Structure 1
Amino acid sequence: MDDVSKEETPGEEGMPVQLRPYSIRARFTLVTALLSVIVFTAIGIGLDFAIRTRIQDGIYADSQRLATTWIDWEPYSAPQPVTTTRVDLLQFTDSHSRVLAASKAAGDVPMSRLLPPEEDRIQHGTACTPARCVVFTVVRVPPLETTVLWSGEPHFVYAGMVQPPILSGHRLEWLTGLGITLMSAFAAWVAWWVVGRTLRPVAEIRARTAEITVGDLSLRLPQPPGRDEIAQLARTTNRTLARLEEAVNQQRQFASVVSHELRSPVSGLYTRLEEAVLYPDEVDLRETVAAALSTTKRMHAIINDILVLARLRTVVPAPHVPIDLGALVAEEAAGQAGGAPVRAYATDDLMVLGNRIQLIGVMNNLLVNACRHAETRVEVTAVRAGGHAVVNVVDDGAGIAPKDRERVFEPFVRLDDGRRRDPGGSGLGLAICRGIVSAHHGTLGIEDSSQGARFVLRLPLLETDRAPMHT
């Protein structure tokens, strides 16, 4: 069974529920879990440290206050009643750590043998025995009292309490670890749920994409609401599918028209050659060969035009170079030898970016068509208008009806007057011209004229193309 058949069945949210290493949802959840563990661990360590510090600082503050208060008491009497319920361990010792007085809870065993020096009279610490750990503060009796009462022998007051369970064991660490685990698991679940909700349209898009085939490009992807990346992707893909459907339809129509246009000359050629073979004595071979050559020449012209049109649609265009369109129009107008006379007017310095050979072909085709249909003259103008170079080719012939002004640019479309004036034409000339102009980011169309046909070519001027580079 292949990999496709192994995919899981979508769950309630339309997404696979099994964790897969190559799933975006799984990867995002895994990354979120790892980052959550790292972040919450750092927070937990800091929180653990802060809690321990706060509890210890509170004990140290209470024990220090109690110890310094007890220094003023009579050291040979019993300790005064303790005013706090937390700090209940009080001891008064000499320099040999002998307990001279103590609270009932403290006992006779010294809490610690820590003896602060004169320059640091108050110190804090934790002393542990097998039975318990005590958090305490030890205060050295001031030198004046020591000298008066004990002939200079240092004495010390200890105040403390049994270390709270949250500090004595690993309870705080376990609680912190449990919190880290729960928070990380919650963050991972949120990531899994959010990504699943976000990618739900992707499953629908994938399912619909699997249904789209070359035979039916009319299907479109479901577009989720909103303007997020997935919605924009769906809309862009639908626009691409629409262009693809249009291109495929054009290709099919073009192939149908090509086959129709080639079928007639091929059938005629086949018939004449078959007659020559079957009836050699009744058919003039010289005439048959001449007719076959004429038909072959027309087919050759049609095929060449088809190849040119196909290259315009598929081949990457050659780099464009600056061209003086006015000079090019004047040269082509002056080179027209047959047909009606051509009068040209061109503005200087009409610089455009383009392929010179292709633009010459466009102008030559427009001028030849105009001369073929003109009665007495053809007028050509090349001027500047609104950032474009505009070329008008006008003849004084019968003109083209408004309903046919777009049809004549379709492949193999030839009007009756065109067939009469040029029986051997392929009907691809204007289609090729429009393709070339479109590749130059321009337009080619037929506009209203007082008499005859008026072809209008517009190409962006060179300075217009370069202007955005300076903004």
Structure 2
Amino acid sequence: MRPRSVRARATLGATAVVATALGAASFALLGILDGNLVRGAQADAERQALATAATAAGGGLEPVLVPGRGIDFLQVVDARGRVLAATPNLSGSPALTPTRPGKPGTVRDTWKRGPVRGGQRHRVVQVTTVTGGGLVTVYAGTSLRQADTADETLKAVLAVVVPLLVLTVALVTWRVTGWALRPVEAIRAEVAEISERDLHRRVPVPRSQDEVARLAVTVNATLDRLEAAGIRQRRFIADASHELRSPITVLRTQLEVARAHPDPALWGELVSGALEDTVRLQDLASDLLLLARLDTSEPPPDTPVDLAGLLREEVRARRGGPVPVEPDLAGEATVRGSTLWLSRLVANLLDNAQRHAERRVVLSLRVDRGRGTAVVEVRDDGPGIPAADRERVFERFTRLDDARSRDEGGTGLGLAIARDIATRLGGTLDALDAPRGARLRATLPLAAD
């Protein structure tokens, strides 16, 4: 029976709170009103009783008593139960109570049925005093008819007003929450209509500038990211298909030539070409597999890695290459990640630098303890990267010099993989301005001590 919609729950909650508050307020109001009226009646009765007791103590008591304002009856009884005086409406009546007080004092009580006016409640004050003839008790009663009438009237009013107020609150809450949730329903309906082919669509943003408007902005931002991811995925698939088709086509051509011309003199050249294209396919497949792993939501590796030692190993592995790598390693640094990922990051940066450098490549390491980062820079003396292309070089399958990169074995994925690794490990990779050549800087967070 629990309401499932936010609108129904909000209405039920508001109605329950208001009903509880109005119920408590109604009971409190009835209690306060009844208490005030009863205290007023008691004050009148007590004043009359004390005055009559003083008259009796002074010996000036008359057999017939005249009631004061608001007093319904008076009766004076001695210790033996004889009625000494009374108001005309109690003339000839016996003592009001059979009990006799044993000492002077004042007693206040409410009688459900008084001796006069039928079933009306009475507030009775009993004052016992000492006279020349012994103890005398004065009974003074005043009707609570006014209090009872006010209580009944107030109860009747509350019985009508409180349900109307509760119903009004329920209706207003239902309408207001419906008005407030209407944009949410519009957002839900629009999102429900968006499929993988309609990621260009956006949800309506209300002009209220409230939480619902911020929700719509957030949903649209999420759709922007989904659309961009879809575009990147389709572009990646198209580029990967194109990159795979080229070496496969060349490899097939070489095999067809070898089959059509079974000349042993040509086999060496054909096999070398086929092996080169096979290696290119293998490298491309490895890059694509690594990119697929980097794109997953699995947590990145988190083991301590000696970055300085890893860089030294990379430098030693490239000795004797066409372009030497000069190390400039200042200090030691330990970062969190994996040796495989960090080696691939550095190798891709050095491969890119050696592919375009003329005479030298510099690999440097700086440690910034204040910021808790290790900074790896790779600089070369090649043609450099134009300012307009410093972000584009990190896109997948991007080649600024497409023909030369293909001849030298580049797939256009090296820098994209390097940036993805740096980002997954909590760092950054950027192309910076340099006086000459290219300058790539990777910033990685240091491992906690």
Give distance in 2, aligned partners of 1:46 and 1:340.
93
Equivalent AA in structure 2 for residue 242 of structure 1? D
Instruction: For 1:7-406, list aligned pairs within 5 A.
Output: 21-71=3-53, 72=55, 74-80=60-66, 82-84=67-69, 86-95=70-79, 99-109=83-93, 112-113=96-97, 115-128=100-113, 131-143=118-130, 145=131, 148=132, 150=133, 152=134, 154-164=135-145, 166-167=147-148, 173-225=155-207, 228-270=210-252, 294-337=276-319, 338-385=321-368, 387=371, 388-406=373-391
CA contact 1:409–1:430 (8 Å) conserved in 2: yes
CA contact 1:91–1:157 (8 Å) conserved in 2: yes
CA contact 2:101–2:128 (8 Å) conserved in 1: no
Deviation at 1:379, TM superposition (A): 1.7
Which one is further off, 432-441 or 196-205? 196-205
Give distance in 1, aligned partners of 2:436 and 2:124.
114
3-state SS of paired residue (1:128): coil
Deviation at 1:460, TM superposition (A): 3.1
CA contact 2:392–2:398 (8 Å) conserved in 1: yes
CA contact 2:393–2:400 (8 Å) conserved in 1: yes
Give distance in 1, aligned partners of 2:381 and 2:279.
31
| Correspondence for 1:10 | none
CA contact 2:75–2:85 (8 Å) conserved in 1: yes
Equivalent AA in structure 1 for residue 390 of structure 2? R
CA contact 1:370–1:394 (8 Å) conserved in 2: yes
Give distance in 1, aligned partners of 2:249 and 2:91.
125
3-state SS of paired residue (1:424): coil
3-state SS of paired residue (1:142): strand
Q: Report the CA distance shift for 1:65/1:414 in structure 2 as closer, same or farther (over 3 A).
A: same
Give distance in 2, aligned partners of 1:325 and 1:40.
71
Deviation at 1:164, TM superposition (A): 1.0
Task: Write out per-residue CA displacement over residues 224-270 of structure 1, whole angstroms, 9 at most, x where no aligned residue.
Answer: 45664433333322222222221111111111211222233334455
Give distance in 2, aligned partners of 1:448 and 1:31.
62
| Correspondence for 2:425 | 440
Deviation at 1:443, TM superposition (A): 2.2
Deviation at 1:315, TM superposition (A): 4.3
Give distance in 1, aligned partners of 2:271 and 2:316.
38
Deviation at 1:349, TM superposition (A): 2.4
3-state SS of paired residue (2:105): coil
Question: Tell me, which stretches of 5 or more residues in structure 1 are unaligned?
Answer: 1-18, 467-471
Equivalent AA in structure 2 for residue 349 of structure 1? E
Deviation at 1:111, TM superposition (A): 8.0
How many residues in Structure 1 have an aligned counterpart in Structure 2? 437
Give distance in 2, aligned partners of 1:323 and 1:298.
30
Give distance in 2, aligned partners of 1:102 and 1:23.
71
Which one is further off, 58-67 or 187-196? 187-196
| Correspondence for 1:427 | 412
Deviation at 1:284, TM superposition (A): 9.8
Equivalent AA in structure 1 for residue 33 of structure 2? I
Give distance in 1, aligned partners of 2:214 and 2:104.
74
Give distance in 1, aligned partners of 2:193 and 2:35.
65
3-state SS of paired residue (1:56): helix
Give distance in 2, aligned partners of 1:379 and 1:282.
48
Equivalent AA in structure 2 for residue 371 of structure 1? Q
| Correspondence for 1:13 | none
Give distance in 1, aligned partners of 2:153 and 2:79.
37
| Correspondence for 1:15 | none
CA contact 1:347–1:383 (8 Å) conserved in 2: yes
Equivalent AA in structure 2 for residue 67 of structure 1? A
Question: Tell me, which stretches of 5 or more residues in structure 2 are unaligned?
Answer: none
3-state SS of paired residue (1:340): coil
Deviation at 1:298, TM superposition (A): 2.5
Deviation at 1:358, TM superposition (A): 0.9
Which one is further off, 194-203 or 336-345? 194-203
Q: Report the CA distance shift for 1:270/1:339 in structure 2 as closer, same or farther (over 3 A).
A: closer
TM-score of the aligned structures, taking structure 1 as reference length: 0.80
Q: Report the CA distance shift for 1:349/1:283 in structure 2 as closer, same or farther (over 3 A).
A: closer
Task: Write out per-residue CA displacement over residues 328-370 of structure 1, whole angstroms, 9 at most, x where no aligned residue.
Answer: 2233112213222221111112333332221111112222332
Equivalent AA in structure 2 for residue 139 of structure 1? Q
Deviation at 1:293, TM superposition (A): 5.1
What RMSD over aligned residues (CA atoms) do the two structures have, in Å? 3.4
